[in-house]
Structure 1
């Protein structure tokens, strides 16, 4: 397993992986229309834009040169209270979950944030993604906010706070 900074050349694979992860994780949570209308080209461009951002770093995790997951961390992209940094994304292909790779990615992000002088950070997780919530609790996260239910279950988030 290798973790490295993402490049523009990775963005098509990242967009494709995101679609697969959304299907296996969020089908039944996100509205079907949202998943069915997923646009790989649009998301490829979003990843390219993310790479250009200097405030967040996007990393890929590879297994035998295949991208199996990705993670972003740095200055918070969506303001929340007085928090300044977060792990904005942490996605891993279903077949690689439960093997310690998510833990490795999380610890990598935590060290990256620590190297930036960060002492605490947050993670936002979909309120209905219970396996992810369990993971973040296991990583030592403290729930600091649970958003109200919404008819669109892709919207409500649970906010976890972590100390570095």
Structure 2
């Protein structure tokens, strides 16, 4: 009987290419038809392996889902970027490669990020999601997030609503 080891661990420099691949696939899966095509392609192109390697070297809080030596997802998080909102931390990104979705890995990554945020003094935190991304809205609602703000983000000449979920 074969066993597969699944861990959540801090990202390493050698993970940069695999994280970029997850980012590319997950963003296309999540945002095709929501973010205008040209803008989506530009956003993905900016996040290649060198961008991720730099983030790891800067010691950004970045964890990966390591599935038997394959990266199946990642989460990045840290201090809340909107200080006017009274939440200490923020999960900036949480993405799972499409082939790993629906298996509970997103919940595990979320839990790891939440635990690390709390250990660094951020018991309360935010997560933003685009309002048209129903799977993300459902995911954060199921995890207990409460909608605390709505805002708009510009993608080229178009705007999309985004929603802030708070966790305490």
TM-score (norm 2): 0.85
1:63-107 CA distances to partner (integer Å, 9 max, x unpaired)?
Answer: 11100100012213x325243311111000122212111111111
CA distance in 1, matches of 2:132, 2:94: 16
RMSD: 2.0
Structure 2, unmatched stretches of 5+, are: 1-5
Structure 1, unmatched stretches of 5+, are: none
- Give 1:45 shift: 2.4
Query: What's the counterpart of residue 105 of structure 1?
Result: 109
CA distance in 2, matches of 1:152, 1:139: 30
TM-score (norm 1): 0.86
Query: What's the counterpart of residue 7 of structure 1?
Result: 12
Structure 1 SS opposite 2:17: helix
Query: What's the counterpart of residue 33 of structure 1?
Result: 38
Query: What's the counterpart of residue 23 of structure 1?
Result: 28
1:13-66 CA distances to partner (integer Å, 9 max, x unpaired)?
Answer: 1112111111111110111112344327x5322212322334x41011011110
How many residues end up aligned between the 2 structures? 159
